[in-house]
């Protein structure tokens, strides 16, 4: 098994190295997240990517969740590929690790397992245009030690093979310890409370950013920004939060249920972008939108997207 593991790593570094030779010296990258469990771009999505010169996709490969009964971490919701990746796009495999998993994990080999699984998926699906990997985790103070240890080990692995490692950074994490990574992506959304019916802007409220952004200038990691273009339909029952509505599943509603839609205003997104630019000059070398879907790409006007993607 160990020999096979290093054989996989040898092949994966060949793939990474081939793609890295084309990396521009100065990045001005338009990018998007792809956060679905089946990879298949619609014709509208392909047109959007081409029109707005999107060169990079951050693709969620799988989640890592905590199985309480087995007391171990397990992969979940692994993506399937119905269509190949367009050869024109750089791909960043993303792994989402739940905070519950990171808090409970005692497996010192988790980083090795995650790295090997990403490598296996890349080889199995013959994905050649890879530009690093990313870890996404809503880690908190209760999981901080485990997360830092995990990132230290994973960065050691990726550095040995010349692979770029990035991490997502939530706004509340800006004042905390900086994980070991080559770069970070500041996830500029979910700044409010979706559980509160009175919070009209739970995805992005410019007026609530001051407490977070005072830490942005001195955050010791190169940063890009991901801006929200998604919406939430939130179910409240007797004015109490029930959950985010998933229309793909069967839903039972009651007479006293209320569904409210929450989506960020483009003026708030652009205002936020301006504030970040004033604080940190190079933060928009790469601009990322979360996330790619037919509904999201029609949420705003074409000119709004052009303005948002402007460097």
- pTM of the full structure: 0.92
Q: Per-residue confidence at 128, pLDDT binned at 50, 70, 90?
A: confident
Strands in 240-244's sheet, in edge-to-edge order, are: 240-244, 232-237, 257-262
Mean pLDDT of 293-305: 95
Question: Could you give the C-alpha distances from 253 to 235, 258, 260, 294, in angstroms and in order?
Answer: 9, 9, 14, 26
Q: Per-residue confidence at 18, pLDDT binned at 50, 70, 90?
A: low
Is the pLDDT score of 41 beyond 60?
yes
- For residue 13, what pLDDT is reported? 57
- For residue 21, what pLDDT is reported? 45
Which residue bears the tokens 């739970």? Answer: 202
Rounded Cα distance, 299 and 295, in Å: 6
- For residue 168, what pLDDT is reported? 98
235-273, pLDDT tens digit by residue? 999 999 999 988 766 677 888 899 999 999 999 999 999
Rounded Cα distance, 201 and 150, in Å: 34
Exposure string of 160-178, with b = 16+ CB inside 10 Å and e = fewer, is: eeebbbbbbbbbebbeeee
Which residue bears the tokens 């093979």? Answer: 161
Q: Per-residue confidence at 87, pLDDT binned at 50, 70, 90?
A: confident
Q: What DSSP assignment string belongs to 44-65? A: HHHHHHHHTTEEEEEEEEEEEE
Query: What's the gap between Cα 38 and its chain centre?
Result: 16
In sequence order, the β-bridge partners of residue 128 are none
The whole-chain average pLDDT of the chain stands at: 90
CA atoms within 13 A on the CB side of 117: 20
134-164, pLDDT tens digit by residue? 999 999 999 999 999 999 999 999 998 888 9
Provide φ and ψ at 136, rounded to 5°: -120, 120
Domains of the chain by start residue, with CATH? 2-229+264-308 (3.20.20.80), 232-262 (no CATH)
Q: Pull the structure tokens for residue 90.
A: 């750089």
DSSP at 102: H
CB atoms within 10 A of CB 294: 12
Q: Pull the structure tokens for residue 207.
A: 């007026």
Mean pLDDT of 183-199: 95
Rounded Cα distance, 190 and 198, in Å: 15
**How many residues does this entry show for the chain?**
311
């Amino acid at each position: 098994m160990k020999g096979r593991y290093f054989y996989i790593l040898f092949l994966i570094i060949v793939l990474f190295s081939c793609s890295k030779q084309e990396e521009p010296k100065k990045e001005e990258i338009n990018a998007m997240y792809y956060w679905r469990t089946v990879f298949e771009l619609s014709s509208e999505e392909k047109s959007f990517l081409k029109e707005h010169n999107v060169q990079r996709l951050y693709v969620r490969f799988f989640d890592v969740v905590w199985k309480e009964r087995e007391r171990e971490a397990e992969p979940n919701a692994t993506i399937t590929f119905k269509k190949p990746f367009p050869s024109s796009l750089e791909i960043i495999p993303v792994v989402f690790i739940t905070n519950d998993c990171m808090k409970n994990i005692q497996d010192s080999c988790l980083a090795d397992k995650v790295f090997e699984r990403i490598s296996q998926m890349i080889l199995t699906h013959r994905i050649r245009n890879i530009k690093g990997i990313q870890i996404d985790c809503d880690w908190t103070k209760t999981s901080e030690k485990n997360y830092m240890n995990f990132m230290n080990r994973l960065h050691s692995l990726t550095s040995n093979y010349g692979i770029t490692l990035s991490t997502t950074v939530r706004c509340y994490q800006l004042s905390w310890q900086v994980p070991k990574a080559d770069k970070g992506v500041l996830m500029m959304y979910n700044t409010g409370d979706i559980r509160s019916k009175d919070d009209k802007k739970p995805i992005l409220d410019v007026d609530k950013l001051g407490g977070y952004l005072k830490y942005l200038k001195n955050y010791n990691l190169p940063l890009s920004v991901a801006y929200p273009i998604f919406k939430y339909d939130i179910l409240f029952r007797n004015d109490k939060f029930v959950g985010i509505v998933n229309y793909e599943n069967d839903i039972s509603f009651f007479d006293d249920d209320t569904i409210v839609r929450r989506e960020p205003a483009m003026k708030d997104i652009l205002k936020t972008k301006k504030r970040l630019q004033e604080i940190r000059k190079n933060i928009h070398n790469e601009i990322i939108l979360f996330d790619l879907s037919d509904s999201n790409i029609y949420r705003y006007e074409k000119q709004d997207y052009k303005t948002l993607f402007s460097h």
